[in-house]
Structure 1
Amino acid sequence: MSELTRWFDARRSPFDLLERLFDGDRDAPGAIRVEEVVDGDSLLVRAELPGVDPEKDVDISVRNGSLLISAQRQERKEEKEKGGYRSEFRYGSFSRTLPLPEGATEQDIQATYTDGVLEVRVPVPEQKQSEHRKIEVKRTG
């Protein structure tokens, strides 16, 4: 199945297609898998990034109300034996853009990295609860 056919597969719901268009294909080879959780007064984003050096290979930025997480991975494996030499390497770039909640404060965003998982904590101010009001529907004709 071609990539284009997979993207526009008729078995997908229209909502799935819209989500892919606006959020990107989460299962694409260059996408970072994330989990978003509201934890108290913060949005907690956990991203799977095994095998990277967070100080050199990870970039986190905020642009136009979105959180952009990007990373690069370069892994090299060498085996030297008596009769030969074998070298293998893997590399790639990964990124994910997530919309930030309204009122999120960019200055207080914090990130930590432990055991291959990047955690980004975004403070979010308490949202005012809108007053619930029922609207009466009037029948005409």
Structure 2
Amino acid sequence: MAERSKPPASRESTQTPAGFDWPPFESFRRQFDRMFDEFPSRRSLADFQPFERMMAQQGNPPVDFVEKNGAYEITAELPGLDETSVDVKLANGVLSISGEKTEEKEEKKEGYYCSERRYGSFRRAFRVPEGVDQDKITADFEKGVLRIKLPKTPESKKEEKKIEIAAK
């Protein structure tokens, strides 16, 4: 008896292909599986620590560098750290921010014991822009956010001069 070949499934078909082999479904399935693979399995959502995950993936916390009000400002979000865990240094025109986080947690319940230790350090370095008054750089730390202000010198605050372009 001759075998019958099945016609290819069309998009108008109401049946779902076995295994979701259509590329958009496959991509969605991989992303969905990845979400659960990366989710902490034996912990509650409250125990999830995005800082540790960020440090493990990137090694450095994100930093914003903006210019406003006649100064530059560097902002670094450092959750779980305090001012004693962070160092800000200026040497040879380079501003460096470094820190270390150590956390030890022990939990004992009936039939359950959990002991965790986490350590992480980071270092970011930036060349100080020209026109910064290096003697007036300040830093403050509040609620896990480090802000460093780099005020400009009076000469660098002068109004910009518009240069006319001659047409030929």
Tell whether the structures are fold-level matches, with TM greater than 0.5: yes
Partners of 1:79 and 1:124 lie apart in 2 by 50
Alignment of 1:43 with 2:47, yes or no, is no
Q: Which residue of 2 aligns with 1:69?
A: 97
Q: CA deviation at 1:54?
A: 1.1
Task: Provide the identity percentage.
Answer: 37
Asked whether the equivalents of residues 94 and 126 of structure 2 are also in contact (C-alpha less than 8 Å), the reply is yes
Partners of 1:30 and 1:118 lie apart in 2 by 17
Taking a change above 3 Å as real, the CA distance of residues 90 and 36 of structure 1, as seen in their structure-2 partners, is same
Q: Secondary structure at the match of 1:32?
A: coil
Q: Which residue of 1 aligns with 2:81?
A: 52
Q: Which residue of 2 aligns with 1:116?
A: 144
TM-score (normalizing by structure 1): 0.67
Asked whether the equivalents of residues 104 and 115 of structure 2 are also in contact (C-alpha less than 8 Å), the reply is yes
Opposite residue 73 of structure 2, the aligned amino acid is L
Given candidates 116, 132, 136, the residue that maps to 2:163 is 132
Asked whether the equivalents of residues 101 and 124 of structure 1 are also in contact (C-alpha less than 8 Å), the reply is no
Alignment of 1:104 with 2:132, yes or no, is yes
Residues 69-93 of structure 1, C-alpha deviations (whole Å, 9 max, x = no match) = 0010111111012334321111111
Opposite residue 96 of structure 2, the aligned amino acid is L
Q: Secondary structure at the match of 2:131?
A: coil
Name stretches of at least 5 consecutive residues in structure 2 with no aligned partner: 1-55
Q: CA deviation at 1:124?
A: 1.1
Name stretches of at least 5 consecutive residues in structure 1 with no aligned partner: 1-26
The structure with more helix, counted as a fraction of residues = 2
Alpha-carbon RMSD: 2.2
Taking a change above 3 Å as real, the CA distance of residues 92 and 38 of structure 1, as seen in their structure-2 partners, is same
Residues 57-116 of structure 1, C-alpha deviations (whole Å, 9 max, x = no match) = 111011221210001011111101233432111111111111211021222111111121
Opposite residue 61 of structure 2, the aligned amino acid is I
TM-score (normalizing by structure 2): 0.57
Taking a change above 3 Å as real, the CA distance of residues 135 and 115 of structure 1, as seen in their structure-2 partners, is same
Q: CA deviation at 1:133?
A: 5.0
The structure with more strand, counted as a fraction of residues = 1
The structure whose Rg is larger is: 2
Q: Secondary structure at the match of 1:107?
A: helix
Asked whether the equivalents of residues 69 and 96 of structure 1 are also in contact (C-alpha less than 8 Å), the reply is yes
